[in-house]
């Protein structure tokens, strides 16, 4: 039972300064700019400094979201960081972010749903607000994927980038709710398709495993590709139906930026014209949990989203996990 509604009071995003181009990757692994562009749509991605952990990336996005909401860090009462590349396994990255931000009154935790993490985080954060327990919840999708990439594996190293996006969710009167519907899903039969095989309790790190780069991302790209389009489209249709909204009422579809061909297929199957499907994968690559808030922030800051616009967010990722959300801006 909800006691309150929820609004998005502010949004912000950040990417590290350093740009890694396809041309530079050509000098690192056996690949070409042409292969990367035609198979993925990616031209460049941003890579964090060695001294810039996930929480530092998250903090820049969070500061911008707070400034947009005109709020001080101490006014936040809950922080939720969606990431699979946190500063450490223990403690949680939310605590590192809380300290960096000076959000001294916030409970803090992190959660992991890979590239679907931001949509999962929105659903969790919104319900924390609706229940009445929290007034202002900071939901951040942040990743330093460069820290778990095998830079000798051309199958994966060309795909990912670092970055963060954040929103401040704020209590609103009951009946006023920006999140019209959310549909989440998962299928644990596919855990092996995208994983960091070692470094958890299943296979703790050893020197041998590190030498084999078993702590880095391994991916069955083609298998994921097939499952991704269906999962995103099914979740999107369900969320639209639950929200009582048709695809042609949507101002922007903001899909997780994993591959341009996946993004285009999702737009096509949902019957949404190309110009309403937002794409920035060319400049950032796949930033996992950061990708949707990063894209939404770009749209908001460039004035391409107006108050009242309907947005459809949809993502899939390791797990496999997926989700879709209908948002009224």
Task: Tell me, yes or no, if 115 is annotated catalytic.
Answer: yes
CB of 311 to ligand ACO, least distance (A): 20
CB nearer to ligand ACO: pick between 33 and 309: 33
Q: Kindly state the smallest distance separating residue 259's Cβ from ligand ACO, in Å.
A: 3
Placement of tokens 């591959």 in the chain = 259
Residues at the contact surface with ligand ACO, assessed by CB under 6 A: 31, 35-36, 39-40, 114-115, 154-155, 158, 194, 219, 221-222, 224-225, 258-259, 286, 288, 317-318
- Identified catalytic residue from 115, 178, 216, 233: 115
CB of 36 to ligand ACO, least distance (A): 6
If residue 169 lies in a helix (H) or strand (E), which one and from where to where? Answer: strand 163-172
Instruction: Please spell the DSSP secondary structure of 85-135, one letter per residue.
Output: S-S-SSS-HHHHHHHHHT-TT-EEEEE--GGGHHHHHHHHHHHHHHTTS-S
Name which of 242 and 280 has its Cβ closer to ligand ACO: 280
CB of 165 to ligand ACO, least distance (A): 15
- Closest by CA to 212, choosing from 200, 198, 193, is 198
Concerning whether 54 is annotated as a catalytic residue, the answer is: no
Please check whether residue 312 is in contact with residue 324, taking contact to mean a CB–CB distance below 8 angstroms: yes
Q: Between 7 and 93, name the residue whose CB sits nearer to ligand ACO.
A: 93
With the C-alpha atoms ordered 92, 185, 12, 174, is the resulting torsion angle positive or negative?
Answer: negative
The CB-of-17 to ligand ACO minimum distance in angstroms stands at: 23
The catalytic residue among 22, 92, 259, 286 is 286
Q: CB count, 10 Å around CB of 97?
A: 32
Residue closer to ligand ACO, measured from CB, 98 or 321: 321
The residues that bridge with 184 in the sheet, in sequence order, are 323
Is residue 256 flagged as an active site residue?
yes
Asked if residues 103 and 138 have their Cβ atoms less than 8 Å apart, the reply is: yes
CA–centroid distance for 280 within its chain:
13
Which of 92, 216, 256, 259 does the annotation list as catalytic?
256
Q: Compare residues 66 and 139 and give the one whose CB is closer to ligand ACO.
A: 139
Q: Whose CA is closest to 70, among 11, 126, 19, 125?
A: 11
Residues designated catalytic = 115, 256, 286
């Amino acid at each position: 039972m909800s006691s309150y509604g929820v609004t998005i009071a502010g949004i912000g995003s950040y990417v590290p300064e350093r740009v890694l181009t396809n041309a530079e990757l050509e000098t690192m692994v056996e690949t070409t700019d042409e292969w990367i562009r035609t198979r993925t749509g990616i031209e460049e991605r941003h890579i964090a400094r060695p001294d810039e952990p996930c929480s530092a990336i998250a903090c820049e996005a969070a500061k911008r979201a707070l400034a947009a909401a005109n709020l001080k860090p101490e006014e936040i009462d809950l922080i939720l960081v969606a990431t699979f590349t946190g500063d450490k396994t223990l403690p949680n990255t939310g605590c590192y972010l809380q300290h960096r931000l000076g959000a001294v009154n916030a409970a803090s935790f992190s959660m992991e749903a890979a590239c679907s993490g931001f949509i999962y985080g929105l659903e969790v954060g919104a319900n924390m607000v609706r229940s009445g327990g929290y007034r202002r919840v900071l939901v951040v999708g942040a990743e330093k994927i460069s820290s778990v990439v095998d830079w000798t594996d051309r199958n994966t190293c060309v795909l990912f980038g670092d970055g963060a996006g954040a929103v401040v969710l704020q209590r609103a009167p009951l009946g006023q709710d920006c999140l019209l519907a959310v549909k989440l899903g998962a299928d644990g039969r596919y855990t092996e398709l995208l994983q960091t095989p070692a470094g958890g309790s299943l296979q703790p790190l050893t020197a041998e495993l590190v030498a084999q780069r078993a702590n880095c991302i391994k991916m069955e790209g083609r298998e994921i590709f097939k499952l991704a389009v269906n999962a995103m489209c099914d979740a999107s249709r369900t969320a639209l139906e639950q929200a009582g909204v048709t695809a042609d009422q949507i101002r922007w579809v903001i899909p997780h930026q994993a591959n341009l061909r996946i993004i285009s297929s999702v737009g096509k199957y949902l019957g949404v014209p190309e110009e309403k499907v937002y794409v920035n994968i060319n400049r950032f690559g796949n930033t996992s949990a950061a990708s949707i808030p990063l894209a939404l922030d770009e749209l908001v800051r460039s004035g391409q989203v107006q108050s009242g616009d309907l947005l459809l967010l949809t993502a899939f990722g390791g797990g496999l996990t997926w989700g879709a959300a209908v948002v009224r801006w």
